[in-house]
Amino acid sequence: MCGICGIFRLRADAPEPDLEELRRVREAMAARGPDGTGEWRSPDGALLLGHRRLAILDLSPAGAQPMASADGRFRIVYNGEVYNFRQLRAELETKGERFRSESDTEVILALWSREGPQGIARMRGMYALAIWDGAERTLTLVRDPFGIKPLYYATEGGCLRFASQVRALEAGGSLSREVDPGGLGGFLMWGSVPEPRTIRRAIRALPAGHLLTAGNGGTGEPEPLPYPSAPSAVDSVDALESSVEAHLVSDVPVAVFLSSGMDSSLIAALAAKHLSDPLRTFTVTLEGWEGTARDEGPLARRVAEAIGARHVGRKLGRAEVAALWPEALAAMDQPSIDGFNTFVVARAAHEAGIKVALSGLGGDELLGSYPSFRDVPRWSARVRRLQRLFGAPVRKVPNSPQEVPAVSRAFAAGARQFAPSRPKLSGLMTYGASPAGAYYLRRGLFLPEELAGILGADQAREALTHLQPVTQAETALTAPTPFSGSLCLGEASGPGLGSDPAPTAWHQVQRLEVALYLRNQLLRDSDWAAMASSLELRVPMVDPILWAQVARHGHEPARSQGKAAVVRVAAPNLPAELWNRPKSGFTVPVAEWMCPPRPRERDTAGKGSRRLAMRILEERDLCPAR
């Protein structure tokens, strides 16, 4: 895991890339790579590449970056891990390739040299990378299919700049820091900034599963990566175990973040089976929760004992957690209401000497155990009946508050008057009839019509011009993804997949959770929050091969078996009390502890996540004067 950056001159009349700027960008990512630094300038000075190294595979200097191919044609900077690199390396060696290191980076170079993007599509892992082709004079940026690893770029001033963090690009000093109303509005409506927008107008996120090629003529548009052929169907449990085993590839010890939930317990149990030494598990609990349902320590310890793990438990007091809040805000790359939980656990794990950890993130999306899988179809059906009752169905989602039908406006006014503590209820008639709209009401923060009161009329209008949340969700239901065809979502998604039946309501919610919540919030926040403590967080349940294999069975896992049934078969030695425990996970009550409501906010801010969003904007100096 690393931090990568670069500056590429796109036009002859553009200034030559500045090495000092590159170093400012790179050093702004020091926490991402405390084990070494590297830089490279092309012979003509048109390209600079920078790297900050967190050594996980091949700890020797041979694994350092930027790395050159054997013939010198290609150069790479790369952030991530390729878990099947040894299998790919063995295959390449049969074709005559010779390797000088034990790193996955060199395997990527060889794959790209022989196969280009098709080779990248064969990699199993998480990655964001940039490859320079000295013969073609092109620079290609690539990001993994789920977007586990971030990559941002800007094209101001005739140069392409890229880095692993938005704040790192800002630190270079050459880009405008103007706030993007679309990114700001997206944060307020979703609780995180939806890609490809960022909080800065000049900077864009490379979309997950895409590549971007730049040459002397400029940059093209991001293009989707080719998808590999779908693997054969295997038993769900075997697929899960295979993914966990693959994610254990490392030259340093691998631990597991263990809560008292089923996802992390399953990951820990499967990991313990494939390690020669006892697995290390790590749990954080909070003082004052002892003996309550929120105390995850006792059950986590029993899980660790059942699988023979070396368990480390860390109890944090409220004062310790509060002291971490300013540090988390400083590390937060883009505003988000999530991530603090991971930041707290990663900091404590780093202090315990842990460098790589597995997380159960993604299990709720894979196995359908969020309440949204039940609630969204139910809500949308009820709203449609309610609309028919009033004789005024909403034919389309309004693009502006002025387009909201009179019946919906009347319903909203009544909801605001009689249920002020549930502010999103006012949008039920307007947005709730479709799966996309009901999902937005389930996951979103502020309604579009509320933005003008926060941002002002002009910024709100521009924000909604660029980003309509329900339209965004509807697009996510049909956009190609590396897992869409495999998950029976109504389209083919790669060679050999063929056509699938129409998506069920369950699969629609699954797609929305993955494309919007998992990608834009959970994965992005896990990255910055863990890397702030120089810790690599791996997510075995966010794996395209796993998803394709599980989905080949054509069922809805949680509905047909229940998550507990899947986990019980995969790890029968886990404590029985795990099966009946209500859904849980380590959660710091950040809104309650860090930003309790002020008196004037009690009626206007509503739920705690709204207060948290506003406080984050204030702390980041992003909240416009009102």
Q: Tens digits of per-residue pLDDT, 29-44? A: 999 999 999 999 999 9
Per-residue pLDDT at 354 exceeds 60: yes
Better-scored residue on pLDDT, 499 or 371: 371
Q: What would the pLDDT profile of 580-589 be if each residue is shown by its tens digit? A: 777 666 677 8
Lowest mean pLDDT, pick from 229-238, 318-327, 470-479? 229-238
Domain boundaries for CATH 3.60.20.10 within the chain = 2-224
Mean pLDDT, range 197-218, rounded to an integer: 95
Dihedral class, residue 232 (left if φ above 0, else alpha if ψ from -120 to 50, else beta): beta
Q: Where are the beta strands (DSSP E) in 423-487?
A: none
Non-local (6+) Cβ contacts of 268 within 8 A are: 256, 258, 279, 281, 303, 304, 307, 309, 358
Q: Where are the beta strands (DSSP E) in 201-257?
A: 204-205, 210-215, 218-219, 223-224, 254-257
pLDDT the model gives residue 179: 95
According to the per-residue pLDDT averaged within each range, which of 134-148, 279-293, 361-375, 420-434 is highest? 134-148
Rounded to an integer, what distance in angstroms lies between the CA atom of residue 159 and that of residue 149?
23
**Residue 324 near residue 295, CB atoms below 8 Å:** no
Could you give the dihedral angle defined by the CA atoms of residues 608, 609, 614 and 617, in that order, rounded to the nearest 10 degrees? 140
Check whether 502 has a pLDDT greater than 90: no
Which residue(s) pair with 141 in the sheet? 130, 212
**Cα 6–chain centre separation:** 22
Q: Which pair of tokens denotes residue 223?
A: 């293009």
Q: Is the pLDDT reported for residue 445 higher than 60?
A: yes
Q: How many CA atoms lie within 13 A of 453 on its CB side?
A: 9
Helices (H), 5-124: 19-27, 85-94, 104-115, 117-120
Mean pLDDT across 534-551: 90
Say which CATH topology domain 2-224 has: Glutamine Phosphoribosylpyrophosphate, subunit 1, domain 1 (3.60.20)
Tell me the mean pLDDT in the region 441-469. Answer: 92
CATH class of 236-368+525-582: alpha beta
**If DSSP codes are grouped into helix, strand and coil, which group holds residue 458?**
helix
Within 48-201, where are the H helices? 85-94, 104-115, 117-120, 166-171, 181-190
- The segment(s) of the chain belonging to CATH 3.40.50.620 are 236-368+525-582
Question: Among 571, 575, 555, 568, which residue's Cα sits nearest to residue 504?
Answer: 555
DSSP run (H or E) holding 82: strand 74-82
In this model, does residue 191 exceed pLDDT 70?
yes
Structure tokens of 610? Answer: 């709204």
What is the pLDDT, as a whole number, of residue 71? 92
Averaged over 529-558, what is the pLDDT? Answer: 84
What's the whole-model pTM score?
0.92
